[in-house]
Amino acid sequence: MSELDKAVETQLKNIQTKTGKSFDELAAIVRNSGLSKHGEIRAMLQRELGLGYGDANTLVHIALQSDGTSAAAAAGLSTEDVLAGIYSGPKAALRPIHEALMGRISGYGDFETLPKKGYVSLRRKKQFAMIGPATNTRVEVGINANGLEAHPRLLAQPAGSMCNYVVRLTEAKEVDEELFAWIRTAFESAG
């Protein structure tokens, strides 16, 4: 079992302990909620069961098998197939930004690349970064690190967001040492 699988298993056990409900009971709540949008279901779980954003988000994905990794596996798609889909059409020109990022990050050490619906999640024991096109002209790099020094490129995100910071990139030349230093800090704190 990978470190990620262990972490998700632990998170799921903690959710069950916190709510006093088995996974089957929790999954039934999700499926029988009458809600169809992920965000609506997550908000309902936060409100009704007192779960935090991350726990509610994970529970929705597991209960509905709706995360990009599960969807890709069910369809027999590789990470490369998912990336080809993410960076297709008008977003194809953004793929060099992704490749420049991954080329350097892959040298940091062991981590998992998990395809999602519109981005990839980079994880060690926890997620340290997210990379994906936010628009047809911009890639966003989400960075999970605490206490980074304020910088105009480093956009702090509201509490409860998937990442602490976001950096917006429109050209591969913006992938620089400054950005890699922030990502490296996140990588080291996630391990």
Q: Mind listing the domains of the chain with CATH numbers?
A: 3-66 (no CATH), 79-189 (3.30.1460)
Q: Give dist(CA 136, CA 150) in Å, integer.
A: 27
The answer to whether residues 112 and 141 touch, using CB atoms and an 8 Å cutoff, is no
Q: What are phi and psi of 149, to 5 degrees?
A: -65, 135
pLDDT the model gives residue 56:
83
Q: Give dist(CA 5, CA 112) in Å, integer.
A: 11
pLDDT the model gives residue 169:
96
Q: What is the pTM of this model?
A: 0.66
Q: Give dist(CA 146, CA 165) in Å, integer.
A: 9
Residue 29: DSSP 8-state: H
Pairing, β 127-135 against β 120-123:
antiparallel
Q: Give dist(CA 60, CA 73) in Å, integer.
A: 17
pLDDT the model gives residue 93:
95
pLDDT the model gives residue 3:
54
Pairing, β 112-115 against β 127-135:
unpaired
pLDDT the model gives residue 11:
83
In order along its 191 residues, the chain shows pLDDT tens digits of 455 567 678 888 889 999 999 988 998 898 888 887 878 888 899 999 998 887 887 888 778 776 555 555 555 667 677 788 899 999 999 999 999 999 999 999 988 888 887 888 898 888 899 999 999 999 999 999 988 998 999 999 988 788 899 999 999 999 999 999 999 999 999 87
